[in-house]
Amino acid sequence: MANFFQFEADFVDSLRCIPMQVRYKLDTCGIKLKLSDWKRMSQLERQNLVALPCTSKSEIQAYRNYIQELILQRTGMPAIELPVEPHPAWMNVSSVPTSVKEKAQEIGVTISTEQWTNLTPLERFALIKLSRSGHENKNFLPALKEFNLLANP
């Protein structure tokens, strides 16, 4: 079952943007997917990228092979490969990344280590991606709300 975030609701039906769960899988298998390449894919291919598992070593390799083939078919160019982080920040439950802390502080929010630990890896991944400088991070605040990270008034 696909786990879309509420802050992605405006595009999940059409899959016109790359959802966080696919971005998570792309980082897991080390493939860069441009939005322009995503848009060249059929709806079914996009749905497959959402649905296909990418957890075990064999699943990660199968996902990588599938996306590489799709990109080659759609663009005529091989996929851009990225190094896979052996210890990604979203898997570290003992430390809130600086980018997330700083982005949260900009809007007056402090995320405790306990709160960070209680998030799923996909939620932590989303906050890291949404807190990066240069990223359109209009969804950072909606994500904080969705993940129950805002103190109740």
Query: pLDDT tens digit string along 66-82?
Result: 999 999 999 999 999 99
Distance separating alpha carbons of residues 42 and 87, to the nearest angstrom: 33
- Condensed to tens digits (0 to 9), the pLDDT of residues 92-135 reads 999 999 999 999 999 999 999 999 999 999 999 999 999 987 65
- What is the C-alpha radius of gyration for the chain, rounded to an integer number of angstroms? 16
Q: Is the pLDDT of residue 151 over 70?
A: no
Q: Is the pLDDT of residue 152 over 60?
A: no
Query: Strand, coil or helix: what is 129?
Result: helix
Whether the predicted model's global pTM rises above the 0.85 cut: yes
- Condensed to tens digits (0 to 9), the pLDDT of residues 11-57 reads 888 899 999 999 999 999 999 999 999 999 999 999 999 999 999 99
